């Protein structure tokens, strides 16, 4: 299981900035380069930001894309570990 820690900076037109942090798990059925994975997760965040009218003129920059050292993920709702 590949999981990456991703960190973005979101800057609004007024000059305010905030950090968005998340985990990204690529579709392992696709063969993707690290650059393609970066582009995919950046597009996802850009689309989420663009869908919020109050953030529509903001920009997003990927600051960190690091493979996380994770052995498993436990989902309490489904009671499954991956």
Q: Give residue-wise pLDDT tens across range 27-70.
A: 888 899 999 999 999 999 999 998 988 887 899 999 999 999 88
What whole-number distance in Å separates Cα of residue 70 and Cα of residue 5? 10
Q: Hey, which bits of 1-82 come out as E strands?
A: 4-11, 17-24, 59-67, 74-75, 80-81
- Per residue in 14-39, pLDDT (tens digit) is 889 999 999 999 988 889 999 999 99
User: Nearest to residue 44, comparing CAs of 13, 8, 17?
Assistant: 8
Which pLDDT value is given to residue 18? 93
Q: Taking the mean position of all CA atoms in its chain, how far away is CA 22? A: 5
Is 41 exposed, middle or buried (CB count within 10 Å of its CB: 0-12, 13-18, 19+)?
buried
pLDDT at res. 80: 65
């Amino acid at each position: 299981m590949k999981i990456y820690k991703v960190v973005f900076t979101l800057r609004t037109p007024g000059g305010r900035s905030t950090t968005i942090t998340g985990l990204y798990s690529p579709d392992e059925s696709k063969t993707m380069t690290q650059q393609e994975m970066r582009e995919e997760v950046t597009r996802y965040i850009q689309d989420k930001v663009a869908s919020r009218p109050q953030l529509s003129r903001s920009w997003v920059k990927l600051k960190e894309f690091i493979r996380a050292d994770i052995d498993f993920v436990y989902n309490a709702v489904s009671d499954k570990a991956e």
